[in-house]
Amino acid sequence: MKDPDSTHFGFQEVPVSEKAGRVRGVFDSVASRYDLMNDLMSLGIHRIWKRVAVELAGVRKGQRVLDLASGTGDLAGRFSGLVGPEGVVVMTDINAAMLGRGRERMVDDGHLGNVVYAQVDAERIPFPDGFFDCVTIAFGLRNVTDKDRALAEMYRVLRPGGRALVLEFSHPRQRALKTIYDIYSFKALPLMGQLVARDPDSYRYLAESIRMHPDQETLRGMMEIAGFERCDVHNLTGGIVAVHRGFRL
């Protein structure tokens, strides 16, 4: 029987009270090399994954978008151009170092005026019910301690007719791909982390946290329990990554 006072941090069992701090330490460590490592780890394919997620979001001029776990702002930057000066994008992260790095990048890229920044815990979103047209979280849900609570919060702040998207590493659909992916994840990623970021442990955690994340069908079920309807799953790169989308009707 699972201990309700413990949770996983990668393959480790840790007290629930410790996980957020441990995750914060990981991203404090990698913030300065985050974009470079994303390009190296995915061979640049992460840009395609994010482009697909943005297209599925269907964001239009004048809308309000909440981007959780924004990192350095890949999704938020695209949404900023789509909503235009009449709309607003709230770019958030629980980690101050990542949020600061993302804000610097957004300013450098000229995203001014319709982007606001906030340090936000996805489990406790500080906005009123029905405030946003779209809520997204890209490569962040697996790091959340209470995923069910985060999904419920995403649902709460959506207006009727709004939609939420979860872009996340998932589970390859073919056995051969899974075998190759496992070798790459547990051998190549920590080595890359050592050589580029001087931090193999953070990238070992990355590989472990992906394996502990719910598979496609389980996550879709979790979204439905949170209240989302018309939930669909879009597998990318053979299921290595998936976009889950749900609507508040």
Span 86-128, pLDDT tens digits: 999 999 999 999 999 999 999 888 877 899 999 999 999 999 9
In the structure, what pLDDT confidence band is assigned to residue 217 with cuts at 50, 70 and 90? very high
Identify the pLDDT of residue 2: 55
Identify the pLDDT of residue 158: 98
| 176 part of a folded domain | no
| 181 part of a folded domain | no
| 70 part of a folded domain | yes
CA distance 107 to 157: 27
Question: Which CATH number do you get for residue 151?
Answer: 3.40.50.150
| 88 part of a folded domain | yes
58-73 average pLDDT score: 97
| 5 part of a folded domain | no
| 178 part of a folded domain | no
| 200 part of a folded domain | no
Count up the domains in the chain and report the number: 1
| 69 part of a folded domain | yes
pTM as predicted:
0.94
Domain that holds residue 89: 12-20+42-170+214-247
